[in-house]
Amino acid sequence: MFNPLKGFGDLQKLHRMQQELQKEEVVVEKNGVRVVARGDQQIKEIVVDDIVEQRITEAINEAVKKTQELAAQKLLEMSRE
């Protein structure tokens, strides 16, 4: 029998996973640059030669957001085929 709410449990798991990833951080330091990224692919901070570069952080987060929207759109298109 078809259960239209079956995928709802998967959505709840995905949401919980996203919340957990937001709590995780990765720090990379290389050549005078330090990048702090959250597990959900959001850049928290970029420091270049001890100077916080908020403009770069914002630009990268905007680019990541646009690629995620593009991926979601493509998945939606594929699910309609």
pLDDT tens, residue by residue, 43-71: 999 999 999 999 999 999 999 999 999 99
Residue 73 resides in a domain: yes
The tens digit of pLDDT for each residue in 17-34 reads: 889 989 999 999 999 999
Quote the domain boundaries for residue 55: 25-80
Provide the 3-class DSSP secondary structure of residue 43.
strand
Q: What is the pLDDT of residue 55?
A: 97
Which residues pair with residue 30 across a beta bridge?
33
Residue 64 resides in a domain: yes
Residue 52 resides in a domain: yes
Q: What is the pLDDT of residue 10?
A: 73
Using the predicted structure, report yes or no on whether residue 77 has a pLDDT greater than 90.
Answer: no
What 8-state DSSP symbol labels residue 27?
E
The closest of 29, 30, 36 to 54, measured between CA atoms, is: 36
Residue 40 resides in a domain: yes
Q: What is the pLDDT of residue 68?
A: 92
Residue 54 resides in a domain: yes
Q: In the chain, which ranges are continuous DSSP H helix?
A: 6-23, 54-80
